[in-house]
Structure 1
């Protein structure tokens, strides 16, 4: 296990080294109109991804960047091992669109159920996920904390190009010019599928508020039946603080940056009143009155 963790940490260090000296403009390339980081994504990989054959029992985890996906991946791995003794080793970069084009051949050898994590927009997911009716867990986080966390990642991660200011980042985030594109486009697309049979929405805030209940809901969604004691044990091991303490072991030097604070409301330390109102207006325009708005509890978490 330690060897596999080291392999993932080594892969991440290689990615960070590739970022050294790049400007923000050089960091990104566009594929089908969406910006992605050139250090971990490529057109060749995206083309190969189209032929990924999803399995019906795959555990698909979708999230926009900086919504807590790495935390949830570790929770899902623990849930899998606790309930089915399936051990998902940390051998690859954890997101299906990241890495070399040959990774999909290697993934064919992984035992079921596999965890397929991704930041991709609904329209860009491999079609076999829908064809084979794999279950999709969609993780959301309120957009203000998402933006704040994204900014801190860029400006704290070793070798990753920094923004000159929060104002510069905020402008790019609001116009969808950051890696993986617009938070709002991503949210609008998933809102259309919020009641699909194989889709479940969960929020970062709900997990922070009651992790035990969150783990229970996730287990039920994927058809696992762990005992209450096992659910509690997974939640205890998987608290954000516990994950932060072992993040360097799992992810290398970037671990404590991926698991930076984990608090709700950190956006208040960055947003001006004008920026807060601008995002309020954008959110209302895109998601006002929707079921996803109710899930996100925008007025609870995004009002000063």
Structure 2
């Protein structure tokens, strides 16, 4: 790999730097500062994931479980996205999402990419009946997916593209891309694995057995579904079905999210050297933590 270059990110006007971490422009300093005071309700359902780890996938599953059980009447997962992105505020919106969420009926479905040390205390340290679903994806596929998504977004917005894939790998491993260090994020949440408020899911396990994942999520949410309903939801949440749903989203950033949805797609991008660097990073950061990922 080439020598590390930070010139691109240092001069990139697309990012906001808040307490040393880069965020997309729709994550503003004043919204991050408000996280400390965000009130969590007892029946909130929160979905946590590093970007490109499957947020929209788990959102679709939760949406269909809640609709099937009659707990909500949102007509599509777009309705959840319209309110649920906790730390976001888009330029066309007069108010940030954390303010809009205060007016939402319960049960609220909240989405966040924040790590525990930046998330609201009621999410990082939940009490009572709050439910937190943490979805994790192996870092190699996460990096590849993130790279392609950012390139699409930048092309659509008329902005300069990301640096080369090789440079992007360096940024990702160094924690200098948006939302900071992948390993800090996943390990921060993983420390809560014995807390019953949390359910941890892996993208790779969901790909292997989606009906099992749907059943696990519904049980965690204390929603009773028969086998037929679980199979119906699982079928509707396969990648091929989800791709059509997302491409027809009224939000343009959701419309470009789905690409391949594969486990092991990193093989199409990684050089041998990049693979070795990621393997070494995984060994350094994950060894002894009990957190393991499938890469194929």
Shorter-chain TM-score category?
0.7 to 0.9
Residue number among 137, 140, 147 corresponding to 1:144 in the alignment: 140
Matched, 1:106 2:105: no
The runs of 5 or more residues in structure 2 that have no matched partner are: 1-8
- Which residue in 2 is equivalent to 1:282? 281
CA shift, 1:179, in A, is 0.6
Contact kept, 8 Å, 1:27 with 1:161, in 2: the verdict is no
CA shift, 1:103, in A, is 3.2
Q: What is the rounded CA distance, in whole Å, between the counterparts of 1:149 and 1:84 in structure 2?
A: 34
Distance 1:78 1:272, change over 3 A: same
- Which residue in 2 is equivalent to 1:7? none
Contact kept, 8 Å, 1:45 with 1:101, in 2: the verdict is no
Distance 1:51 1:152, change over 3 A: same
Contact kept, 8 Å, 1:97 with 1:118, in 2: the verdict is yes
Can you list the C-alpha shifts for 1:75-127, whole angstroms capped at 9, x where unaligned? 11111111134034246264211116543343223222111110001111111
Contact kept, 8 Å, 2:47 with 2:133, in 1: the verdict is yes
RMSD: 2.0
CA shift, 1:223, in A, is 1.1
Give the TM-score, by structure 2 length: 0.87
Partner of 1:98, secondary structure, is coil
Q: What is the rounded CA distance, in whole Å, between the counterparts of 2:81 and 2:138 in structure 1?
A: 30
1:109-148 to structure 2, matched below 5 A, reads 109-129=103-123, 130-133=125-128, 134-148=130-144
Q: What is the rounded CA distance, in whole Å, between the counterparts of 2:115 and 2:86 in structure 1?
A: 13
Partner of 2:103, secondary structure, is coil
- Which residue in 2 is equivalent to 1:66? 52
Contact kept, 8 Å, 1:244 with 1:255, in 2: the verdict is no
Q: What is the rounded CA distance, in whole Å, between the counterparts of 1:97 and 1:109 in structure 2?
A: 16
Can you list the C-alpha shifts for 1:176-232, whole angstroms capped at 9, x where unaligned? 011100101112212222212211110111111111100100111111111111111
Q: What is the rounded CA distance, in whole Å, between the counterparts of 2:72 and 2:186 in structure 1?
A: 32
Which protein is richer in helix relative to its size?
A: 1
1:64-103 to structure 2, matched below 5 A, reads 64-88=50-74, 89-90=79-80, 92=82, 94-99=84-89, 101-103=95-97
The runs of 5 or more residues in structure 1 that have no matched partner are: 1-21
CA shift, 1:249, in A, is 1.8
- Which residue in 2 is equivalent to 1:14? none
Distance 1:57 1:94, change over 3 A: closer
Give the TM-score, by structure 1 length: 0.84
- Which residue in 2 is equivalent to 1:156? 152
Q: What is the rounded CA distance, in whole Å, between the counterparts of 1:137 and 1:131 in structure 2?
A: 12
Q: What is the rounded CA distance, in whole Å, between the counterparts of 1:61 and 1:131 in structure 2?
A: 13
1:228-239 to structure 2, matched below 5 A, reads 228-239=227-238
CA shift, 1:169, in A, is 0.5
Q: What is the rounded CA distance, in whole Å, between the counterparts of 2:102 and 2:192 in structure 1?
A: 28
